[in-house]
Structure 1
Amino acid sequence: MANEVSKEYLLKFGIHLKSLRQSKGLSLRQLAAKCNIEHADITRYEKGEINMSFNSIVELSVGLEMTLKELMDFQL
């Protein structure tokens, strides 16, 4: 059960992340360059395929120019 919930959160966060990136007019490569994360990893995050470290979440917030709270404000 917990694993299913984790997967659901990863998928929802990925949708949210993609939406934020697109709303800022950033391509995957542009965001990757701004936050020092490989664009392939960002693709996997957006698809909910892999979990990310706290450091990656911080880097994404910097790259998207928003607070951690704004980045993590998504509905399950």
Structure 2
Amino acid sequence: MFFRSVIIYDYTRIYLEGELARVKHPVVRLAFGAHLRTLREARGWSQQELADRADISKPTVYRIETARFSATLDVLAALAQAMDIQLRDLVDFPSREVLLA
């Protein structure tokens, strides 16, 4: 039987398929997801177009943008290359203080 993952954001924990998974910096994941979406939309790209250009799956783009999981370094590098930006520019996004203000 297939069970969908249930995600509950309480900024301290994320529940996945009945197991409690500790997340060290959930606000950072949310901030990065929002930043990636802003960069993608500024180019007029759909999630599918970004996925195709980065040679990753559309669900991966969706999951990163919605903070369902953190991107690996390989995926970050692929995203930066697809958007023709430096990796440091991809990971330069508003800090936690900005998000909580």
**TM-score after normalising by structure 1:** 0.91
Q: Which runs of 4+ in 1 moved over 2 A?
A: none
Which residue matches 1:37? 56
Cα displacement string for residues 9-61 of structure 1 (whole angstroms, at most 9, x for unaligned residues): 00000000000000011111111110011011100100111011100000000
CA distance, structure 2, for counterparts of residue 69 and residue 51 of structure 1: 16
Bigger strand share: 2
Structure number having the greater helix percentage: 1
Structure 1 residues not aligned, in runs of 5+: none
RMSD of equivalent CA atoms? 1.4
- Aligned residue for 1:72? 91
Pairing partner for 2:79 from 38, 44, 60: 60
Q: Give percent identity, aligned residues only.
A: 25
Unmatched tracts of structure 2, length 5 or more: 1-11, 13-21, 96-101
Counterpart of 2:41 (choices 15, 18, 22) is 22
Bigger radius of gyration among the two? 2
